Amino acid sequence: MLPKEQQEEMAPFQAEMCAALANPQRVLMLCALAERPYHVSGLAERLGISQPLASRHLKVLREQGLVCAQRKGAMVEYRLADQRLLEALRLMRAVLQDRFARRASLLDAADTPSGVR
């Protein structure tokens, strides 16, 4: 664990990064980019969104350093900036799965008559 002073210093940056991940389309973009690089139009097609919307999402991800862009002729190719992002997404998914499982077990317990299991 970081010392309190460093935690306080890092917290705003972590919050900004989490804000970039707060949109499901951006999370799906990162998952797609983990498989291979994409141009904006290919990523938009893959996700079923418009190219302008894909560009706006990529701008947010790029500003947070989550993706990087490389010009290839007239096109710009986007890729994941750091493979560790995949592990962060996996960890968040695992936390969510545990949370959903806990809620499901609580609902099951609430639906079960007292004393009957």
pLDDT tens-digit profile of 29-72? 999 999 999 999 999 999 999 999 999 999 999 999 999 999 98
The answer to whether residues 76 and 88 belong to one domain is no
Let me know: does 28 contact 61? Beta carbons within 8 Å: no
Q: Given this model, what pLDDT does residue 15 score? A: 94
The answer to whether residues 43 and 53 belong to one domain is yes
The answer to whether residues 70 and 94 belong to one domain is no
Q: Given this model, what pLDDT does residue 89 score? A: 92
Q: Given this model, what pLDDT does residue 117 score? A: 52
The answer to whether residues 87 and 30 belong to one domain is no
What pTM does this model have?
A: 0.82
Q: Are strands 38-39 and 67-72 parallel, antiparallel or unpaired?
A: unpaired
Let me know: does 56 contact 23? Beta carbons within 8 Å: no
Can you give the three-state secondary structure of 15-83, one letter per residue? Answer: HHHHHHCCCHHHHHHHHHHHHCCEEHHHHHHHHCCCHHHHHHHHHHHHHCCCEEEEEECCEEEEEECCC
Angle (CA) 11 31 71, round 5°: 90
Q: Given this model, what pLDDT does residue 110 score? A: 80
The answer to whether residues 12 and 31 belong to one domain is yes
> Residue 8 corresponds to which amino acid?
E
Can you give the three-state secondary structure of 76-113, one letter per residue? Answer: EEEEECCCHHHHHHHHHHHHHHHHHHHHHHHHHHHHCC
Please write the tens of the pLDDT for every residue from 74-96. Answer: 999 999 999 999 999 999 999 99
- Residues of the domain holding 30: 4-81
